[in-house]
């Protein structure tokens, strides 16, 4: 009788443990690093993700944010994720082109014209096909956040046409697509980590740079730049990355919580980011920057100048992914 009672108690305990989410059995601290300041929409995304994950896990999965390049530049954080030293980051997709070159497709100039097209491209089959290439590189992705359309600032002149790029020394992301695009415009592109950018602008080591409006404002580039021009040459996205070494330690229940928290954060982060971009244009002007838009005919001319760059890189990528990219552009532009 006593033995039967013990067996029943043990069985009951096993059922209780099985019914509890795995996250309730172990506390984990997730070090989440990124490049942006704590007042940037990427930081708001990290905070919301952390709140949702804590709620889903009963406080057992804790996100610890490290903004403003505290854990290193994007490539250093990427290595830390691959090595399992850091658990999460939210870099620009462009930083992944070194390990999965097809991520360069996201950087192709003038590919999408608005946010609806950008979301359709990244949330659809093309974005998922790129994500599927990451686990073999030691990374797991939970989706895409908004960084915004990239625009050029500089200390010399307004960019109103392609010829205005001629001879400008512009800092660009260390990425071949960006380098070749600005070479096609006859600028002098200088690859440089983001953390070094403000000092280079201040010392006039470079004339200008290109980033989304919220990044330009958050990093006070108005202090060292005069002109901001609405080139909208590339739509930039952040990608929510998890160390695969860390991911593989998680139970299916914990992984599900991570996916759900990321999915629920995505719409909020995009909304905050796009509202911030709209507001940033006015704020930059109020801080003394001269803002200008570019005539549609001139943007079309820039698109034509950049086309050989697109053709060159597309020829070096996985043909199946390029075919998917092209068909997706046709679909989303309708």
Q: For all residues of the chain together, what is the average pLDDT?
A: 92
Over residues 199-205, mean pLDDT: 98
For the stretch 270-310, pLDDT in tens is 999 999 999 999 999 999 999 999 999 999 999 999 999 99
Domains and CATH numbers, the chain: 25-333 (3.40.190.170)
* pLDDT tier for residue 18 given thresholds of 50, 70 and 90: very low
* pLDDT tier for residue 195 given thresholds of 50, 70 and 90: confident
For the stretch 146-158, pLDDT in tens is 999 999 999 999 9
Q: What is the pLDDT of residue 66?
A: 98
Task: Record the tokens describing residue 12, joined without a space.
Answer: 């009951």
What whole-number percentage of the chain has pLDDT above 70? 93
Closest by Cα among 89, 109, 268, 275 to 176 = 109
- pTM (predicted TM-score): 0.86
Using alpha carbons, list the distances in angstroms from residue 169 to 153, 155, 182, 224.
Answer: 11, 10, 10, 14
pLDDT exceeds cutoff 50 at 94: yes
Task: Record the tokens describing residue 87, joined without a space.
Answer: 């658990």
Task: Record the tokens describing residue 62, joined without a space.
Answer: 């804790």
| Higher-scoring residue by pLDDT: 305, 94 | 305
Task: Record the tokens describing residue 34, joined without a space.
Answer: 């990124």
pLDDT exceeds cutoff 80 at 20: no
Over residues 56-76, mean pLDDT: 96
Q: What is the pLDDT of residue 273?
A: 95
Q: What is the pLDDT of residue 116?
A: 97
Which helix (DSSP H) or strand (DSSP E) does residue 62 occupy?
strand 61-66
Q: What is the pLDDT of residue 25?
A: 61
* Contact partners, residue 10, CB within 8 Å, separation at least 6: none
Over residues 22-51, mean pLDDT: 89
The DSSP output letter for 203 is T
Unique residue bearing structure tokens 């999408």: 112
Q: What is the pLDDT of residue 173?
A: 85
Q: Beta partners for 292? A: 229
* Contact partners, residue 97, CB within 8 Å, separation at least 6: 103, 104, 107, 175, 176, 177
Over residues 203-228, mean pLDDT: 96
Q: What is the pLDDT of residue 175?
A: 81
Cβ 40 vs Cβ 32: under 8 Å: no
Which helix (DSSP H) or strand (DSSP E) does residue 151 occupy?
strand 139-154
């Amino acid at each position: 009788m006593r033995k039967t009672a013990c067996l029943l108690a043990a069985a009951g305990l096993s059922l209780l443990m099985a019914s509890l989410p795995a996250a309730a059995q172990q506390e984990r601290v997730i070090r989440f690093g990124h490049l942006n300041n704590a007042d940037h929409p990427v930081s708001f995304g990290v905070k919301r993700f952390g709140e949702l994950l804590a709620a889903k896990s009963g406080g057992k999965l804790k996100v610890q944010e490290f903004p403003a390049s505290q854990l290193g530049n994007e490539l250093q954080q990427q290595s830390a994720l691959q090595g399992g030293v850091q658990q999460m980051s939210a870099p620009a997709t462009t930083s992944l082109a070194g390990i999965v070159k097809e991520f360069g497709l996201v950087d192709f100039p003038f590919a999408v014209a608005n946010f609806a097209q950008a979301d359709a491209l990244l949330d659809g089959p093309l974005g998922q096909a790129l994500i599927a290439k990451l686990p073999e590189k030691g990374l797991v992705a939970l989706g895409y956040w908004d960084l915004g359309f990239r625009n050029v600032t500089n200390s010399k002149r307004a960019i109103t046409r392609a010829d205005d790029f001629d001879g400008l020394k512009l800092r660009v992301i260390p990425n071949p697509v960006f380098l070749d695009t600005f070479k096609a415009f006859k600028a002098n592109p200088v690859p440089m980590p983001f953390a070094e950018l403000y000092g280079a602008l201040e010392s006039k080591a470079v004339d200008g740079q290109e980033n989304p409006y919220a990044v330009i404002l958050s990093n006070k580039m108005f202090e060292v730049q005069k002109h901001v021009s609405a080139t909208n040459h590339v739509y930039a996205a952040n990608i929510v990355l998890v160390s695969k070494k860390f991911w593989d330690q998680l139970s299916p229940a914990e992984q599900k919580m991570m996916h759900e928290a990321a999915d629920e954060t995505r719409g909020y982060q995009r909304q905050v980011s796009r509202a911030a971009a709209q507001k940033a244009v006015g704020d930059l002007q109020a801080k003394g920057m001269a803002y200008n838009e570019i005539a549609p005919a001139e943007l079309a001319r820039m698109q034509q100048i950049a086309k050989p760059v697109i053709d060159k890189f597309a020829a070096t990528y996985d043909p199946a992914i390029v075919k998917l990219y092209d068909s997706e552009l046709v679909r989303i532009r309708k």
